[in-house]
Structure 1
């Protein structure tokens, strides 16, 4: 039943909202604060899903189709998408769940994103998308197949590398945290779900678990795919515009469920609040949403479809998309965040130096000779 899409989406939206799982923030922190904490949590989600998908595939429950690697479309589209998510203040999934929290800027970004995705996938911009995707298509599918190793070996390597990163993160966190005497904490499920701050690594594991569940739930309805945001977003617009009810499939209910789950989590935790940003932020959100939709359509997926799902399938498209999404985020972060911060710091340093020079005593005063 396609109603399971709504349930899976609601669970995902709840986890994303309560865990503050922001893929844009994970990528941006690599450049701005040089922190890999959230990126490690993201890789946990990828690795957990990779193990689950390998098990489901081995059991014959699913048989994922790996796309052939289109170089120009993946590279350019993913870079554009990376720039867009910084402007929009969140990736495709982040925009959905933040819309459920009441962020008006995300509402604008979401509308721009779904419209541009629909236009690029099957609308007025579809010919451009087809041309970009056909510019340089290879026969490459998965990385293990290209280097001649079994798929399960690739999954083991990914899981092992992720485990090493998790260990490094845990050790570093313990070294930074000084032991303190904490007061007795409240207990209970409501406290754990709605009040206590979630551990990033646990959140990443939960996202990976939901991604695993999405595969058989989606396949049971005839939609042979896992988590996805861009194609369902385009289908939502297409269904509304054309009235074609067949477009409202499991994936469409998934994205609607993300908004619903995020809203429930935000209301229950007292974090729901309609927040109206400045006109400049709204303009950036719209521009970012437009870039997100086009970039994801060209690349064949967004931060979920490519960076989370296709990476778990060890596809070339997924991992190259992940790299260029991060590079796009870095380029946008440099222009919008890092460079302005450096400029302001230099201006403050110059102002302090000038003020210090004005108040310093004159060391060149003449010395009066003694009698």
Structure 2
């Protein structure tokens, strides 16, 4: 019972924080190339700083034995790129889709249904052969999954923490140079990054108490929920499932308090596009073994080379589809952002 309660409470807090901070990694990744406001990228970097330090410290003292994403590079490149394309057309990443459902955005609900179908179809479903084929070529380092540690031959704690220190210093230097946000709707990037980062690290802690040595994940828990709803199979249900289910509820609470919870139904063609885009997201996440959460937060916390490659592929897919929608002329302009919002019919 404590797993259900603990997972739901953490998920509620995460959904609340995602909604209040408007934390969507589709918007964050897009801003690197197409927008002057990098607030969400800074929030993501804060999340990574907290989790890279926290996860590796907990590993060093023996509390965690984290699972590291494999470097099955064809699957990461193809799946990540497909996921990136899908999240642009869906109007949000996996976590963004879940929390926007909580605030009443029915277009995101359509994307979520597509995401669930896509993940289930590729992960043990009828289209599993594509996943298996693309995951076959896998790179290891002396039989281990590649991380930045074994890639650079850092086998001692001193060497590992020197690398972590260098990465953290570089991140803090970038954050220290950030301009002040002139217009903030909801939480600023510092508060958002701190809240999401602490909760993501908390997910590692409470998951490890159940023998699950992994942090936040949206792809596998979505598969477990889908299988349970379709066939009653509860074998995949874990504490991560309860975390996931808490996210839209937490987002609803945050939106209700702020008067932002309302039903929003897009035009039929937009709803169809978001639903099919969710299908692409789900397929891509299953092929790549993770989404913007499993790879771009949880996986990078372990300094997994596979998760870094997967994240880069997600970014490339995001940028390619954004450029396709923008027509290549709208970098860093307010009109371009308006065009994107119109294209995906989403808010926030």
TM class, shorter-length: 0.7 to 0.9
Cross-structure match for 2:279? 290
Cross-structure match for 2:343? none
Once the two structures are overlaid, the 10-residue window that deviates more, 24-33 or 109-118, is 24-33
Output the CA distance in 2 between the equivalents of 1:282 and 1:314.
37
Matched, 1:261 2:240: no
Cross-structure match for 1:15? 17
| Higher Cα radius of gyration | 1
Q: Give 2:295's match in structure 1, choosing from 298, 306, 312.
A: 306
Q: 1:205: how far off?
A: 1.8
Output the CA distance in 2 between the equivalents of 1:216 and 1:118.
27
Q: 1:323: how far off?
A: 1.3
Output the CA distance in 1 between the equivalents of 2:134 and 2:51.
30
8 Å Cα contact 1:113-1:289 kept in structure 2: yes
**Alignment RMSD (CA, Å):** 2.0
Q: Give 2:167's match in structure 1, choosing from 140, 158, 165.
A: 158
Query: Using a 3 Å threshold, how does the CA distance of structure 1 residues 252 and 295 change in structure 2: closer, same or farther?
Result: same
Structure 2 portions without partners, runs of 5+: 336-348
Q: 1:74: how far off?
A: 0.7
Cross-structure match for 2:62? 60
Q: 1:261: how far off?
A: 0.4
Count of aligned pairs between the two proteins: 323
TM-score normalised to the size of structure 1?
A: 0.83
Cross-structure match for 1:364? none
8 Å Cα contact 1:31-1:333 kept in structure 2: no
TM-score normalised to the size of structure 2?
A: 0.88
Matched, 1:99 2:108: no
8 Å Cα contact 1:88-1:286 kept in structure 2: yes
Output the CA distance in 2 between the equivalents of 1:222 and 1:29.
37
- Correspondence list, 1:128-277, <5 A: 128-139=130-141, 140-149=145-154, 150-169=159-178, 172-173=179-180, 197-277=186-266
Matched, 1:328 2:317: yes
Could you list the runs of 4 or more consecutive aligned residues of structure 1 that deviate by over 4 angstroms after TM superposition? none
8 Å Cα contact 2:215-2:298 kept in structure 1: yes
Output the CA distance in 2 between the equivalents of 1:67 and 1:163.
26
Structure 1 portions without partners, runs of 5+: 179-194, 346-371
Output the CA distance in 2 between the equivalents of 1:148 and 1:222.
29
Output the CA distance in 2 between the equivalents of 1:246 and 1:325.
29
Q: 1:341: how far off?
A: 5.6
Question: What does the per-residue CA deviation read over 1:48-93, in whole Å, with 9 as the maximum and x for residues that have no partner?
Answer: 1111111211222111021331111111111111001001000111
Output the CA distance in 1 between the equivalents of 2:185 and 2:287.
40
Secondary structure of the 2:133 match is helix
Query: Using a 3 Å threshold, how does the CA distance of structure 1 residues 283 and 341 change in structure 2: closer, same or farther?
Result: farther
